[in-house]
Amino acid sequence: MPSLQIVEGADAARSSVLKRDPFGAPDLPEAVAKSIEELWGEPLSAADHVARILEAVAGEGDAAVTRLSQQFDRSSYEAIEVSTDEISEAFGLVPQEQIDAIEFAANRIRQYHREQLRHAPQSFSARGAGWSVKPLQRVGVYMTGSDAALPSSVIHTAVPGVVAGVDEVIGVTAAQADGTVNPVKLVAARFAGINRIFRASGAQAIAALAYGTDTIPAVDKIYGPGNLFVTLAKQQLFGRVGIDAIYGPTETLVIADETASIDLVAADLLAQAEHDRLATPVLITTSRAVAEAAAEQIETQLETLERGEIARAAVERGGAVVAADLGEAVTLANEFAPEHLCLLVADPEGLLPRIRNAGGVFLGESSPEVLGDYTAGPSHVMPTGGSARFASPLSVLDFLKVTSVVSFDEHELDRQGPYAATLARAEGLTAHARSIERRIEGR
């Protein structure tokens, strides 16, 4: 039986394939729950476990960060900060072909974000009021992944900040068993423009960035996806430190009509499915035949994947929807608000104006979402879980802040002042009113 379930009609889709579970802390695997109980001497929820970690880092600083990171990563090291020599040595450990690919991706993403910055808000002043736009001073990038290197994530998270003009971009990353950091990550960090890198992982790394320690400086804002504990730490620390967003498992929605190449439909769905068992690949098509053929092709391609078991589990979470027409397909896609939306239809450009909610839209068979993961240009750090209804992909805008500026002369004070004083008295705020009136009366 094919792994991809197929449903017909909007109502069936909304109640099954396109129905999301509410965001929350899922039940922990038995082994993870047991390790948490052993650590604290009592069973704890994921959120309570993270709260204990934050408390430990706030009180103990580097000692807690190192102890917890080494315990969870099963690593051993002396120095928390990665030295410049280690970063330089990484270039001798990574095949030149991979170095060239990382450099190409970093340059491509940097060029895109430089163009993006040209269209970002600019400082202005008009009739005595305006705003000043400046980059943040220091930010932290969570360099996700441990033994498995994810250099693309490092680049896609850090480069927008560097282009925006952030003074200092620091990275935190898990160490390998021998205490080293995966050299591919270090190469990516160098090309991305990260200034300093520290060995710290999970919730304790997020806490270190928020509170600061003797070794790891506190930052203004934290960026980058991570596991459940990283996500919960970002939630719990928001307000003390800025965060970019709350990221859940990846998701891709493909809209395909009768003209679509079935093997590419299947390939695009599986490209996201292999990320994570909790990933959500969804197909919406105007043809039952396309849905059935895609389901069969997915089974064929699953047999060729190294992560086929993971991909199969994700495919079973997703599904295919047979819509009445492209109009209904777009309506359902906008309701679902996917992280990635691929348009494998005869006229993708014609469909684009009707797309309202998506992290990224990929038009036609020559623009696969996988290019977006690596070299297309826009950051692949995108809103998940339906948050594309109100959120945007990571961009230079996330590294800028606006300060309102007011600079009036006496004439403008005389013109506006009486109105402002009247409003202040209407609110019962006499001191507010007198702050204006004293200025006018004193001349």
Give me the mean pLDDT over the 253-267 stretch: 98
Residue 364: the pLDDT is 97
Residue 28: the pLDDT is 84
Say whether both 228 and 255 belong to one domain: no
Say whether both 176 and 291 belong to one domain: no
Say whether both 235 and 273 belong to one domain: no
Give me the mean pLDDT over the 350-377 stretch: 97
Alpha carbon distance 142, 69 (integer Å): 14
- Domain membership of residue 159 as a residue range: 26-107+114-121+136-245
Q: Strand pairing of 251-256 and 242-243?
A: unpaired
Closest Cα partner for 53 from 69, 41, 38?
69
| 53 within some domain | yes
Of 220, 245, 270, which residue sits at a domain end? 245
Say whether both 187 and 303 belong to one domain: no
Give 265-279 pLDDT, tens digit per residue. 999 999 999 998 889
| 386 within some domain | no
Q: Which listed residue (339, 410, 437, 441) is catalytic?
A: 339
- Name the 3-class secondary structure at 411: helix
**Tally of domains in the chain:** 3
Q: Which listed residue (49, 275, 340, 380) is catalytic?
A: 340
Residue 384: the pLDDT is 96
Answer yes or no: is pLDDT of 25 > 80: no
Alpha carbon distance 394, 223 (integer Å): 9
Alpha carbon distance 201, 173 (integer Å): 5
Residue 22: the pLDDT is 73
Cβ-in-10-Å burial (0-12, 13-18, 19+) of 2 comes to middle
Say whether both 260 and 297 belong to one domain: yes
370's tokens: 């996988």
Could you tell me the CATH number of the domain that includes residue 259?
A: 3.40.50.1980
Say whether both 170 and 239 belong to one domain: yes
Of 245, 274, 300, which residue sits at a domain end? 245
Alpha carbon distance 438, 244 (integer Å): 44
| 80 within some domain | yes
Give 326-339 pLDDT, tens digit per residue. 999 999 999 999 99
Portion of the chain with pLDDT greater than 70, in percent? 98
AA letter at 377: G
Residue 21: the pLDDT is 77
Give 145-163 pLDDT, tens digit per residue. 865 689 999 999 999 999 9
Give 291-337 pLDDT, tens digit per residue. 999 999 999 999 999 999 999 999 999 999 999 999 999 999 999 99
Cα angle 398, 271, 345 (rounded to 5 degrees) comes to 90
340: annotated active-site residue: yes
Helices (H), 8-45: 10-15, 30-40
Residue 165: the pLDDT is 98
**Can you give 96-135 as a three-state secondary structure string?**
HHHHHHHHHHHHHHHHHHHHHHHCCCCCEEECCEEEEEEE
Say whether both 212 and 306 belong to one domain: no
